Amino acid sequence: MTNYELIPDAVPTDGIAHIVPGYGSITINDLVPDKVIEAMPENLRDKYFKKKTQESAQ
């Protein structure tokens, strides 16, 4: 189970490439694992992902 969900309106259908420190170039889409999301700079993470709430995690 993941702790984050993609903000669909923020990302094109095919995803978008960004550099993530320690991981290099990654494609941001709904398949990015939590450990990569957590390694992203906060401004980048907040632009594309939101933390799941208890209700949305179920």
Helix (H, G, I), strand (E, B) or coil at 51: strand
Tell me the pLDDT band of 55, cut-offs 50, 70 and 90: low
Residue 18: exposure state from Cβ atoms within 10 A (0-12, 13-18, ≥19): middle
Sign, Cα dihedral of 10, 13, 18, 24 = positive
pLDDT surpasses 80 at 1 = no
Question: What is the C-alpha to C-alpha distance for residues 47 and 11, in angstroms, rounded to an integer?
Answer: 9
Give the mean pLDDT of the chain. 90
The pLDDT score that the predictor gives to residue 26 is 96
What average pLDDT does the segment 38-51 reach? 95
> pTM of the entire structure?
0.83
Sign, Cα dihedral of 20, 41, 22, 7 = negative
State pLDDT tens for residues 9-30: 999 989 999 999 999 999 999 9
